[in-house]
Amino acid sequence: MGYIQDLRKMIGHQPVVMVGAGVLVTDPHGRLLLGLRSDNHQWGIPGGSTEPGETTEETARREALEESGLEIGEMRLFGVFSGPEFYYIYPNGDQVHNVTVVYESNDYRGQAGHEQQDDEHSPFRFFDPDHLPDEISQPIRPIIRQWVEKNRQS
């Protein structure tokens, strides 16, 4: 049982500030790795909440490995995201004010694909930036929007 689950046992669905980390993983063709979440049936990047004593870099790497099966090497800070548009109510009623540290990486080992799956996501797959799915999870949309804009300027 993780920290957030233990906290939820005490406070129920009340709003919490949740620090988390994620990673924008791209393949050699510049495609972005996304997984379909099982709770809201929306696409998102590998990531999750930071455990006590864990750095955000460790969180991003751990979540990428747990969720997609990829071992992440070198990462670069993409941005820190917080504020009203990162408030989210999960389908089960849990309320969070997300503070999300997002990294970028094209340095990974392993293979993400239709065979990789965990309890939170269906298999991950790579998407062309010009053909991303419409159903992107609400707290991830601004992050991906900024990533797409940055890549179009490059």
Domain that holds residue 106: 16-153
The structural domain count of the chain equals 1
| Domain assignment present for 98 | yes
**pLDDT above 70 (res 120):** no
Decide if 9 is inside a domain.
no
Would 70 be classed as within a structural domain? yes
The CATH number of the domain where 131 resides is what?
3.90.79.10
Q: Is-above-0.85 flag for pTM? A: yes
Residue 153 has pLDDT above 50, yes or no: yes
Mean pLDDT across 6-13: 92
For the CA atoms of the chain, what is the radius of gyration?
Answer: 15
pLDDT band at 1; cut points 50, 70, 90 = low
**Which stretches does DSSP call E strand in 9-118?**
16-25, 32-37, 43-44, 47-49, 71-72, 76-81, 87-89, 95-105, 108-109
Q: What is the pLDDT of residues 62-112, one digit of tens each?
A: 999 999 999 999 999 999 999 999 999 999 999 999 999 999 999 999 987
Does some domain include residue 5? no
- Assess if residue 123 is contained within a domain: yes
